[in-house]
Structure 1
Amino acid sequence: MFTPSSHDVRRFFCEVFRKDRAHEILTPLEAMALDWVRQHPEYDDALADAEAAIARDYSVEGGQANPFLHLAMHLSISEQISIDSPRGIRAAFETLAQKLDSPHEAHHEIMECLGEMIWKSQRTGTPPDGEAYIEAIRRRVGS
């Protein structure tokens, strides 16, 4: 399993941004990432300079959202939906996207559930609970 560092993630998204601006060919994963980069033009400045991105501290105390974490979560959710893993996420996403009339907003709702699942896993030292994750998404569909 590949576990990229925060620097790897930042370099990846900055490289996607650079390649797009230079009209270079993207890998399939880069093309998927570019879809999310384009939906977040407010991150263009952060993506334009890889070295500055790596040096930047996006701590909670700083009060600014981490654009790289946000984009990485979008990408992760896209991949989960594409392979329907954990099982049921594709249907839950489709229902939520229809309810909200926005696939992007559905991603943001799912992002909250993903963040909570990861936080609980880290706090308890247990593996991520995919079933609880899907149930949390389904509750958002019902609310």
Structure 2
Amino acid sequence: MFNPSREQVRRFFCDAWRKHLNRSVLDGAEVTAIDIILRHPEYHALLASGEEAVARDWTPEGGEMNPFLHLSLHLAVAEQIAIDQPPGVRAAWQKLAARHDPHAAEHIILECLGETIFRAQQVGGGMDAQAYVESIERAARG
């Protein structure tokens, strides 16, 4: 899924959760997705709702974080750490995880990633990978 639609992303997480509940074999990224979902029990009922979850909208005015965005960012960060891309992200995560539990460390990285994406959108360019890793390292230093 290199450029999935909103519906494809939502179905991916709902299908992975359904497979987990049915004790079906998980494939590829589904294994990581389930690890992330298990750390977010607040999303379990939503993911089990299937089509309702796929169709629902979350808006900033509603004051709720879009759970699919949150899970997708976790999945992106897990992949970044696994392949150390951008270079240095794994070492920065390890420093964070030494000071916080791994899930809390991921949440800190999610904030850094969100800020980096926001800055890139404001200037209309690509993500500054070096600035992203540096922001994680700053967070690790406290």
TM-score by length of 1: 0.95
Unaligned runs of 5+ in 2: none
Does structure 1 residue 13 correspond to structure 2 residue 16?
no
Shift of 1:6: 1.7
2: CA distance between counterparts of 1:28 and 1:7? 19
The equivalent of 1:69 in structure 2 is: 69
* Residue identity in the other structure for 1:19: K
Unaligned runs of 5+ in 1: none
The equivalent of 1:121 in structure 2 is: 120
The equivalent of 1:131 in structure 2 is: 130
* Residue identity in the other structure for 2:124: G
Does structure 1 residue 50 correspond to structure 2 residue 50?
yes
1: CA distance between counterparts of 2:99 and 2:20? 32
Shift of 1:68: 0.9
The total of aligned residue pairs comes to 142
* Residue identity in the other structure for 2:97: A
* Residue identity in the other structure for 1:141: A
Report Cα offsets for 1:40-96 as digits up to 9, x if no partner. Answer: 111011101221112111111111111111111111101000000000000000010
TM-score by length of 2: 0.96
Shift of 1:28: 2.1
Shift of 1:108: 0.2
1:77-116 equivalences under 5 Å are 77-100=77-100, 102-116=101-115
Alignment identity in percent? 49
Moved over 6 A (4+): none
RMSD: 1.1
